[in-house]
A and B are shown apart, each in its own frame.
Chain A
Amino acid sequence: AQSVTQPDIHITVSEGASLELRCNYSYGATPYLFWYVQSPGQGLQLLLKYFSGDTLVQGIKGFEAEFKRSQSSFNLRKPSVHWSDAAEYFCAVVRGNKLVFGAGTILRVKS
C-alpha cells in the first residue's frame, strides 16, 4: 500500500516566489514525518521532521512544514525561494522499522 504520495513530479517557481510542495501519507498511527532534500549527484539531507507537538515545524534553510492530521498532509513551504533551492525533495514516513519515501518532487527555480 502506498504510504506517501507526492502529487507533483516537477514544480517550477521564480526566484523570490513562495513555494509549497505537497505530501500526503496513509498511515493509521501518529506518523513520524520527514522532508529530505537531494541536490544533483549528492546524498540526502534532512530538512525537518515531525514527531509530535506543534504541528508547524521549522527546518534548515528557511523551510517549514505543517502537519494536518485531518488532511493526512505534511506540506513543505518556503516564503522566498533562492536559486540554490533547486533540487529534488522527498517526503518520508516511518512505518514500523522502515522509512518509506515518496517518489520525490523536482524543484526548478527560474531567474
Chain B
Amino acid sequence: NAGVTQTPKFQVLKTGQSMTLQCAQDMNHEYMSWYRQDPGMGLRLIHYSVGAGITDQGEVPNGYNVSRSTTEDFPLRLLSAAPSQTSVYFCASSYSRGAETQYFGPGTRLLVL
C-alpha cells in the first residue's frame, strides 16, 4: 500500500490564482481530512469527509473547497489564493467513519506571493 499520497510536494502561487491539492489513499478508508499547519498553531482542520459524497467544514474552511466523489480521493481547492494561505497542508485518512487513528500524508508546502 502506498498509504496517503499528496501532490504536489511544493507549489508557488500568485495572489488570486486557483489550484487543487491532490490527496489519495489506497487503504479503503472512509474518513479523510485536510489540515493546515502554521508555526505555533499546531494543525487546524480545514474540511473533512466521512465517506464518498459527504463533506463538512472544520475549524478554518474559508477560502477552500472540497468534494469526495470516490472513496480514494479527496482534493482540496483554493479558489483565489491569498498570502494568508501560505502554509503546509496535510491530508489524512482513517479506517473508521470517525476521526480516530488518522494516517497522514507527507504534506504539500504552499507559498502564495
Residues of chain A having any CB pair with chain B under 8 Å: 4, 9, 32, 34, 36, 42-46, 49, 51, 90, 94, 96-104
Contact = CB atoms under 8 A, between A and B. Distances in A.
Contacts of A44: 43, 90, 92, 104
Nearest to A6: B42
13 contacts: A42-B107, A44-B92, A44-B104, A51-B100, A90-B42, A90-B43, A97-B56, A97-B99, A98-B45, A98-B58, A101-B43, A104-B40, A104-B42
Nearest to B31: A97
Given A32-B100, A43-B90, A43-B105, A101 B56 contact: no
Interface of B: 31, 33, 35, 40-45, 48, 50, 56, 58-59, 90, 92, 98-107
Contacts of B43: 44, 90, 101
Given A46-B101, A98-B58, 10 more contacts: A44-B43, A46-B103, A97-B31, A97-B48, A97-B50, A98-B48, A99-B92, A102-B42, A103-B40, A103-B41
B98 A97 contact: yes
Which DSSP category, helix, strand, loop or mixed, fits chain A's interface? strand
A70 B30 CA distance: 34
Contacts of B40: 9, 103-104
Contacts of A45: 104
A49 B33 CA distance: 19
Contacts of A101: 35, 42-44
B107 A99 contact: no
Contacts of A34: 101
A98 B106 contact: no
B54 to A, nearest CB: 10
B102 A99 contact: yes
A43 B100 contact: no
Nearest to B98: A97
Contacts of A102: 42
A49 B100 contact: yes
